[in-house]
């Protein structure tokens, strides 16, 4: 049985990790967006919920289109690296603007928030989807890819640690009494650092794997074809979003919410029918884009990771997004939020380092099950904490965050395995599409998590300017920090139990692919 002997240099692994450190300046700062929108920018929680969900839904279209565009990009620098360079200035610009509070009317602020948030996610997609896919073409070694994934998330958590441990202090220090001014000045600093880090990633990485050659139609015909086939992935997300929005709308009647639930269930049924129609068509009648989509929808490991990605996106974001409210109103210690984020992100960083070592000795599937199960246990225990037990709460949260920190390392390494599985099964390698669809699902989970925080607070009557309403919503903040993440962890465990690609299976796939590539090269 053949295995790849290729090894990536330490310089290249570190350079690659800088890209996700930069991405986390955007990603981790997003944990502050709900509280920024409600307490500083001035939006109602329900309006912020709808805004986040609408942008995340559009994000699905751009994510998957970006993956397909990147797959069809051909330059001397490769398919994916050029996009990192091209998108960097736009990502830095919108990172600064998202935390800027203009002197507009309420309606003007809603429009501004939507446009800038949409542009930020678009720039992030153009940067991070090719960045994620780049890992799939830097090496053909499963072990090296697992190591690279570990380095990636060491960088991710280091970048996140820098943002989340310093952002509250910088906002206060640079704001001169104005939170709005503090946020704006702080994000200008992170935007400058983002540019430096992404340029390092571009200069130090290299694409090595050449996908099998496919005869493509003209680019715009491919994009039109892709757009026509996107509903099979986007319709269920739309259905879930409609149902979540119905929960946020306090003035909707039970009839309205029942209709929203029916729309969600109908979206699932319609999606299954679209999938069945596509995969049952003769292969010779399908375009390349339709073949890519059919490969994706018959890739059982990827379909299971789709569910896992949503669960881990929810699991890793709900608690951090609720933490600012929890510390400010339940613990009455807003001064500790920076320390909390610093401690928990150190735990995440330690998890990223440990997962690289653990994945060389244990099955990734087993490790993911352990991460969800133990993470759920320690998060659930936070429910029993009272405001005087801050140390105990910090300990439980730190241990829970360690297991949460394992999840992205394992998920994106497993996503790379599904790319190999697809090539092994179908003789086609749509790296960008598989990574972008996986990234979209994970980002969907993150978007649902942010919306979930605002919905739970809305259901408990939270209003930032009403002390009595804030007191009445504290139970919701407690649930968001404990029982809700625990329930998500249980669901995540169940989904991972169905995942079929263990280490033994992947070694066989890796050997077969090496043999095929050598034969094609000869």
Rounded to whole angstroms, the Cα distance separating 239 from 249 reads: 16
User: Considering the domain boundaries, does residue 212 fall inside one?
Assistant: no
* Helix spans in 249-299 (H): 254-279, 288-297
User: Considering the domain boundaries, does residue 245 fall inside one?
Assistant: yes
> What is the reported pLDDT for 227?
61
User: Considering the domain boundaries, does residue 323 fall inside one?
Assistant: yes
> What is the reported pLDDT for 85?
94
Structural domain count, the chain: 1
User: Considering the domain boundaries, does residue 336 fall inside one?
Assistant: yes
Under-50 pLDDT residues of the chain: 1, 215
User: Considering the domain boundaries, does residue 93 fall inside one?
Assistant: yes
Phi and psi at residue 395, in whole multiples of 5°?
Answer: -65, -50
Q: Answer positive or negative: Cα dihedral of 119, 123, 126, 128.
A: negative
CA distances to 295, 434, 483 from 227, in Å: 17, 16, 39
Phi and psi at residue 140, in whole multiples of 5°?
Answer: -100, 10
pTM of the model: 0.73
Rounded to whole angstroms, the Cα distance separating 412 from 136 reads: 10
> What is the reported pLDDT for 55?
83
For 86, the domain range is: 10-206+218-521
Q: Which residues pair with 75 in a beta bridge?
A: 78
Judging by beta carbons within 10 Å of its beta carbon (0-12, 13-18, 19+), is residue 248 exposed, middle or buried?
buried
CATH number reported for the structural domain that contains residue 259 in this entry? 1.20.1250.20
User: Considering the domain boundaries, does residue 135 fall inside one?
Assistant: yes
CB-based contacts of 284: which residues, under 8 Å, 6+ apart? none
> What is the reported pLDDT for 131?
93
Rounded to whole angstroms, the Cα distance separating 481 from 474 reads: 11
Measured at the CA of 416, the angle between CA 413 and CA 418, to 5 degrees, comes to: 115
User: Considering the domain boundaries, does residue 211 fall inside one?
Assistant: no
CB-based contacts of 128: which residues, under 8 Å, 6+ apart? 23, 439
User: Considering the domain boundaries, does residue 4 fall inside one?
Assistant: no
Asked whether 243 and 264 are in contact (CB, 8 A), the reply is yes
């Amino acid at each position: 049985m053949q295995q790849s002997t290729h090894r990536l240099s330490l310089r290249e692994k570190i350079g690659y990790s800088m890209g996700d450190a930069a991405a986390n300046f955007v990603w981790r700062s997003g944990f502050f967006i709900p509280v920024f929108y409600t307490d500083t920018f001035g939006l109602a929680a329900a309006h912020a919920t709808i805004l986040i969900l609408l942008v995340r839904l559009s994000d699905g279209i751009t994510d998957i289109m970006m993956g397909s565009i990147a797959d069809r990009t051909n330059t001397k620098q490769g398919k994916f690296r050029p996009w990192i360079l091209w998108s960097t200035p736009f990502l830095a610009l919108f990172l600064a603007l998202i935390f800027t509070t203009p002197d507009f009317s309420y309606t003007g602020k809603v429009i501004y928030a939507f446009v800038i948030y949409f542009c930020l996610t678009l720039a992030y997609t153009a940067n991070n989807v090719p960045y994620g896919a780049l890992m799939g073409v830097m090496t053909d070694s499963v072990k090296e890819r697992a190591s690279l994934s570990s380095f990636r998330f060491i960088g991710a958590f280091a970048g996140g640690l820098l943002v989340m441990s310093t952002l509250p202090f910088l906002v206060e220090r640079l704001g001169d009494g104005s939170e709005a001014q503090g946020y704006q000045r702080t994000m200008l600093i992170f935007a400058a650092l983002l540019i430096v880090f992404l340029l390092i990633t571009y200069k130090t990485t290299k694409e090595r794997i050449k996908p099998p050659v496919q005869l493509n139609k003209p680019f715009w015909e491919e994009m039109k074809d892709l757009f026509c086939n996107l509903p099979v992935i986007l319709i269920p997300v739309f259905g879930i979003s409609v149902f979540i929005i119905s929960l946020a709308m306090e003035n909707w009647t039970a009839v309205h919410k029942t209709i929203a639930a029916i729309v969600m269930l109908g979206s699932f049924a319609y999606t299954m029918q679209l999938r069945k129609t596509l995969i049952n068509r003769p292969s010779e009648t399908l375009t390349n884009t339709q073949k890519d989509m059919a490969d994706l929808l018959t890739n059982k490991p990827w379909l299971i990771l789709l569910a896992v990605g949503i669960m881990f996106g929810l699991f890793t974001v709900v608690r951090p997004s609720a933490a600012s409210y929890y510390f400010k109103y339940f613990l009455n210690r807003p001064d500790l939020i920076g320390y909390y984020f610093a401690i928990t992100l150190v735990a995440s960083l330690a998890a990223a380092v440990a997962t690289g070592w653990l994945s060389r000795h244990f099955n990734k599937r087993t490790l993911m099950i352990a991460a969800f199960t133990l993470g759920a246990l320690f998060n659930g225990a936070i429910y029993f904490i009272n405001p005087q037990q801050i140390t105990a709460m910090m300990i439980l949260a730190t241990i829970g965050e360690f297991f949460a920190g394992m999840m992205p390392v394992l998920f994106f390494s497993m996503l790379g395995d599904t790319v190999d599985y697809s090539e092994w099964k179908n003789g086609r390698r749509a790296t960008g599409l598989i990574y972008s669809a996986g990234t979209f699902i994970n980002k969907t989970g993150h978007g649902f998590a942010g919306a979930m925080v605002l919905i739970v607070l809305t259901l408990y009557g939270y209003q930032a300017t009403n002390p009595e309403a804030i007191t009445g919503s504290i139970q919701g903040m407690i649930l968001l920090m404990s029982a809700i993440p625990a329930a998500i962890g249980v669901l995540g465990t169940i989904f991972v139990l169905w995942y079929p690609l263990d280490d033994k299976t992947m070694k066989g796939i890796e050997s077969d692919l090496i043999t095929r590539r050598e034969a094609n090269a000869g």
